[in-house]
Amino acid sequence: MSLTSPIFLAFVTATVIAFHISESVPYRRVVIAAANAIFIASYLSDFTQVLPLFAFLALGYACVRVLYLRQSSVVFAFGVVAVLCSYIFLKRFSFFDGLGHLPFPYLTVGLSYILFRILHIMADVRSGDLVERIGPFAFFRYACNFLCFVSGPIQRYQDFSETDGKAAAKLDESSVYDALSRIVTGYVKFVIIAATADYAFTFLSPQLLQAAPVPFFKLCAVYAMAASFYTVYLYFNFSGYMDIVIGIGRLLGQSLPENFDKPFTARSFLEFWQRWHMTLSQWFKFYLFNPLLMFLMARLPSRTLTAYLGVLAFFITFLVMGVWHGTTAVFVIYGFLMGAGASINKLWQEACVQRLGKKRYRALTESTAYIYFARGLTVGYFALALTCLWVTELPQFTDLLVRLGVAGVLGTFVVLIAAFAITALALDLIRARVHIPISLSAIQSGEIVRNLTLASKMMAIVAVATLLHKAPDFVYKAF
């Protein structure tokens, strides 16, 4: 079910109306469960396609139930291995082709995020952070929540349970308007900005992958533009999707966590990942980085090694997070690039503090030149690494690198750093110099202007969608 389809809008409208017909919690839970089932069914052409998903959910629930009975490390380890092996088998990772496949097509959309939810419940039951007994229907409503089913945000069960069938706040005129405004803003990002960037990217990228020779400087210029447009496309596609589901969630009394916080203002790679896909970063922090660092520190209890153990833990965490994004060998490279970026960033911070001291290092990071160079470097590195997400087959990826050579890759990197740094500086200068008079600001927050703004956004969505003649899809659905 595409987010931009009339069917999806009709489905959401019917779900919201049905949810608010009664304030009965059991009734509302039935509505949410039915909505989840209908949403999943929209991806199916045959009932058998959903059987592997049911088996995966049943395995996860069985592991959780066993952990309720016995919260031992051995049971937890066996459960994690069983769930991970099932996930790897169903996702058809290219590294494990020899394991064989199920001999029929089946649903894999949403599987990655269901994995996170199952592992989170198992870890929290094991640690005692989650004592609430979860029934099978509550497990289904949480694991297959249609708002988060495709690609998150990753919500903790404890937070979901607080609003499961219970509207967190009563809907009134203001809250409905805010929710609709958030949804429309999401569609503006999704249908206008992301679709336009995708249009430019789709025009440029074939020139990089074609067999015909392209002059070196043109190749580098096209690569830099394609990488930039893909980064813009990915951000507005993904954050637009989040705006839409968070807005719909408010209409259903659900408070979904934010997933983005102005990532392009980050001054370092580590800060970037605190602002980009935040629920994924936090999940890996709580359930991989922290336990891994504790394990390493327990085995190597030396103060001089602590910082380097943190670097190693960062590298492994980002490597795993990168590999999770896809099923081909190129995603191992993506994971390595993410791990290298995080590790180098951490080593740089440690080296600067040791060489300059905390006070002088802090002063350095507040200088204008450092800020914009760091912002350009961060986004430029991320944009180059994203190549792994749009050149997903190893032969094509290596062919592109061979054609660019070391000089081409480094030259493109320098161009991207300069382009993003100059753009960030220009935008900040414009914001600092453009002051909206108080009287105009008051008019902008008035009801008439707010409604006109909302209506103009909706008209723009229709106009651009008509011009592009292309229904956008959600890019993270493939990961």
**429 CB contacts (<8 Å, ≥6 apart)?**
none
Q: What is the CA radius of gyration of the chain?
A: 24
Enumerate residues 6+ apart whose C-beta is below 8 A from 330.
Answer: 388, 391, 392, 393, 394, 397
110/119 Cα distance (integer angstroms):
15
Per-residue DSSP letters for 1-69?
--TTSHHHHHHHHHHHHHHHH---HHHHHHHHHHHHHHHHHTT-SSGGGGHHHHHHHHHHHHHHHHHHH
Q: Are 442 and 401 in contact (CB under 8 A)?
A: no
The Cα 188–Cα 120 span in angstroms is 33
Please give the Cα distance from 461 to 471 (Å, whole number): 11
SS (H, E, C) 79-99: HHHHHHHHHHHHHCCHHHHHH
- Return the H-helix or E-strand segment holding 113: helix 111-127
Q: What is the pLDDT of residue 74?
A: 92
- Give me the pLDDT at residue 466, please: 62
Classify residue 40 as exposed, middle or buried by CB count within 10 Å of its CB (0-12, 13-18, 19+).
buried
At 274, which amino acid appears? Q
Element (H, E) at 461: helix 447-468
Residue with token string 């414009």: 430
| pLDDT per residue as tens, the chain (479 positions) | 777 788 888 999 999 999 999 889 999 999 999 999 999 999 998 889 999 999 999 999 999 999 999 888 899 999 999 999 999 889 887 777 777 788 888 888 889 899 999 999 999 999 989 988 999 999 999 999 999 888 878 899 999 998 887 765 677 888 888 898 899 899 889 888 998 999 999 999 998 887 778 888 999 999 999 999 999 999 999 999 999 999 999 999 888 999 999 999 999 999 999 999 999 999 999 999 999 999 999 888 877 888 888 889 989 998 888 888 877 888 889 999 999 999 999 999 989 998 999 899 999 999 999 999 999 999 999 999 999 999 988 899 999 999 999 999 999 999 999 999 999 999 999 988 876 665 555 555 666 667 667 767 766 766 666 666 565 666 666 66
CA distance 331 to 118: 23
- pLDDT at position 58 is 96
pTM: 0.89
A 10 A CB-CB count for 392 gives 19
CA distance 176 to 170: 10
- Give the pair of three-digit tokens for residue 479: 């990961």
pLDDT for the residue numbered 327: 77
Q: Concatenated DSSP letters for 4-20?
A: TSHHHHHHHHHHHHHHH
Q: Choose among 122, 41, 111, 40: nearest CA to 78.
A: 122
Q: What is the Cα–Cα distance from 383 to 366, expressed in whole angstroms? A: 24
Type of residue found at 392:
T
Neighbours of 346 (CB within 10 A): 21
Question: What type of residue is 248?
Answer: I
pLDDT number for residue 105: 86
What CA–CA distance (Å, rounded) separates 362 from 353?
9
Distance separating alpha carbons of residues 299 and 315, to the nearest angstrom: 18
Token pair for 351:
């080296």
Q: Rounded to whole angstroms, how far apart are CA atoms 271 and 378?
A: 9
Contacts of 275 (CB under 8 A, 6+ apart): 260, 261, 262, 263, 265, 266
Q: DSSP characters for 325-355? A: T-SSTHHHHHHHHHHHHHHHHHHHHHHHHHH
Neighbours of 213 (CB within 10 A): 8
Distance of CA 69 to the CA centre of its chain: 34
* Alpha helical stretches, state H, 145-268: 157-162, 173-187, 195-209, 216-251
- Amino acid 256: pLDDT: 92
Task: Determine the pLDDT at residue 308.
Answer: 87
